[in-house]
Chain A
Amino acid sequence: MRNIFVRESGNYKTSYVDDMKLFGTTGEKVKIALIIGLVLLVPVFATNYWVGLLTLCVISSIGAIGLNILTGFTGQISIGVGAFLGVGGYTSAIITSTMGLSFWISLPLAGLITAIVGGIFGLPALRLKGLYLAIATLAAQVVILFIISRWTSVTGGTAGMVLSRPSIGSFTFSSNISYYYLSVVILLITVLYATNLLRTRVGRAFLAVRDRDIAAQIMGINLFRYKVLAFAVSSFFVGIAGALLGHYTMIVSPELYSTTVSIEYLAMILIGGLGSVLGSILGAVFITLLPVGLGTFVDMVVVYFPDLYSLLSAFKEFAFGLVIILFLIFEPGGLAHIWLNIKKYFKLWPFSY
């Protein structure tokens, strides 16, 4: 019987199978079980307000993991996430509200259709890199939003469309808590998929493309195929997040998917940590909760200076920007790297170097 507190020290792996194990030690299995248990227990001790906020965090995490597959794993920058969220949301709205089909059909379809749209807008990635690709994806943002707000007969134009919460049989996910569980389950599947993706041939090809695409091509990786695939896989999760968000807020409208949203998602993965699944989640939670935290801070200050409310509200934007700049300067590795450092610190204590 191995002690569950035993940690790996050194590399004693003797086979590739050993090396590929997702949960190498019993300790790791216990840790994962504890984390999942904790996440599932949140609604028991958190208030309705916090469950609502955490649901938003969970949904953003799914989208951020999606974007990280593209930007963090494959190194293709995209500023079109906002619009892809919109494609997911609108697809689900059209399938459930207009065509009257069930949410359980529309959710995967929203992912698939967003994947196709994402793949199409990923085509320029073969020829374009870096800044040029960023502008090409920005075009996706503009084009998609233009279509959504003008194609009134299908999308309802700027007024948007209404959706309803999903249901199974007679049970409807109308409460915050039930929707939280629904989102968490989908997030868990996403995390499992993204973590495993890295262990496959496709995942390794993504990393190779990111590190040096010419070298990857020489090794026999079909650049075109894998770049478009990365766009499609990434957009699939963004689309799922969009559909979940749409059914959560019960409305989709073009103003919900502006360029600001795209930038916010990019900020999530930058602050969280590029190429890290844990980082995507930490970043999504951070970016979603930061305005709330700042808002609460303003509320506390306003108690003493009641006249300063509008000034401080404007200051919130400023603080938001400042935090992002500080992160980029002091910790480009993101929250995931900070977490790693803390872990290392305790692991090596008192003999850290």
Chain B
Amino acid sequence: MTATTAPPAPPAQPGSSAATRIVSHIFKARETGILIALLAVIVVATTVNPNFLFSSDGFRDLLLTPSLLLLVAVGQAIVIITRNVDLSVGSVLGLTAYLTGRLFIDLPGIPVIAVFLAGIAFGAILGLVNGALVAFARVPALVITLGTLYIYRGINVAWTGSDRINASDLPAAFRGLGTGQILFIPILTIIAVIVLVIAAWVLRNLRSGREFYAIGSDPDAAHLYGLRVTRRILTAFVLSGALAGLSGVLYAARYGTVSSAAGTGLELQAIGAAVIGGVAISGGVGTVWGAAIGAYLLLTINRALPIVGIQDFWQRAVVGALIIGAIVLDRVLALRQHRKLIEAREDVR
């Protein structure tokens, strides 16, 4: 029992200034560990081959490669925090990437901003379909989004056929977004980070953001609290779809070539990034920062492994080990914390 019948005791942490609290918060945060892992990977790879970081291409790739995954992983993290999952993001990305190309081909002179808005809206609609099925039909998200993964991909294949979008179909101004830089920072990365910061702010500071956590932490309690569970879950899927849509547009800008296989397998990377970043697959725990760093770690390791001389076919295994390691670590930490909290209670008793 931490509480007593006596009149108020002094506050819990005597003498803790704001600064020390922030320091200890950073030290304890789950995201810190993974950030250190990311830095370690970069340091090791750079030691073996300085070009990994200290060449203009190396630096650019380091920032650029994970940016698309980052966007999708942020959406995925929001969905996972509500104790759901969105397996359809890869297919959503593929469809919007193709849509982007088609818009430029079929409507010559269309403003770039209109294409962005169309891609985001299209992704949001696909996400809405997922969310509606999950929230109203009360079927587990795993099954629903597995279904839409195939359906969306099927539509994509039927629509694209043997056709594909080529770089020459896209206006140069648009392609510049995918490859351009501002002060050595790729524009894509800037967009991704802006989205990340907004998402993190919303999740931390708005009621709707906190309710995502509440719903994932205990859906039954959320109902008893009178939270609008259905609406929030719907929102989470719409956000995930919209972010996948945005990255679909950016995918077209970055790669120029869009076939009907664009984005295949991305959903697993996104889930992996979120989980590695400390987002609990059972909901209620984690941050989009973690998912973002997870995305960087995942793809940076992929690029670093060949440099440190690990054979190609081991790379996937390493990524798998990383995911399992992250989950085991989280589980161990959670159990330890739970036991500590209980012990603390017994001590006072």
Q: Do A and B bind each other?
A: no
| Interface positions of B (Cβ within 8 A of A) | none
Question: Which A residues form the contact surface with B (CB < 8 A)?
Answer: none
